[in-house]
Amino acid sequence: MMVINHDSGTNVQEIAEGIYRINTPVRLPDGGGFSFNQYVVRDDQPLLFHTGLRKLFPLVREAVASLLPIDSLRYIGFSHVEADECGSLNDWLAAAPDAVPLCGTVAAMVSVNDLADRTAVSLADGQLLPLGRHRVRWFDTPHLPHAWECGHLFEEDTRTLFCGDLFTQGGADLPPVTTSDVLGPSEEFRHAMDYFSHTTQAAPLLERLAATAPTTLACMHGSAWQGDGAALLRSLSARLTE
């Protein structure tokens, strides 16, 4: 793990071949902690997935610049419209003249093509986008865990699922990658914060994600996870429907 900014603790770690996790820990007034992750896919058409909060832009930019030239970014992707997902989207579009927003069709239609300074590339459910050696496929997951426009991106070469707010773990001092249980901590968080919608479609949506058989889960909050992703997604499904 490489610490990029010693004041904030912002750090970078490769979690799968050519995929980098940028992490900024945040200390909360109550003594607890939280963290925000963004992911860079370094390839012919580089992708940043999650922009981070608008106020984190200088830190995330510094971290991305340690991996590749900012103006080489091609896609600025995200799961749904929230500040930690896309708050600094327009800052990135200004810094990277060839970059475009990358999101699902609902996000583009409802919000992004109004909010963003450049027209989005929107991916239909199941659509594949080649980045070079890496290739990402979009899955619409409305309201899972929240937001109508929500979707998740799966990178086929490394079997990495960018799973956004699924498996959110609290805490500021978690390792970049873990193979130990993240379902327990994320379930604790879900019960405390009730941040999942109560969609009746969670089980079939999670089953579609499980069918990709991911080996790395690139979580937005907390550690990235490595292991049998299909089994973990099915365990989450069981917990949501019990």
Residues that bind Fe ion (CB under 5 A): 82, 84, 165, 220
**Min. distance of Cβ 164 from Fe ion in angstroms?**
6
Q: Which is nearer to Fe ion, 84 or 140 (CB)?
A: 84
**Min. distance of Cβ 26 from Fe ion in angstroms?**
12
Q: Is the peptide bond before 69 cis (omega within 30 degrees of 0)?
A: no
Q: Which is nearer to Fe ion, 43 or 202 (CB)?
A: 202
Rg (CA), the chain: 16
**Min. distance of Cβ 170 from Fe ion in angstroms?**
12
Copy the structure tokens of residue 8: 């904030």
**Min. distance of Cβ 147 from Fe ion in angstroms?**
7
Q: Which is nearer to Fe ion, 82 or 156 (CB)?
A: 82
Q: Which is nearer to Fe ion, 11 or 35 (CB)?
A: 35
**Min. distance of Cβ 213 from Fe ion in angstroms?**
24
Q: Which is nearer to Fe ion, 193 or 238 (CB)?
A: 193
Distance (Å, whole) CA 112 – CA 230 = 31
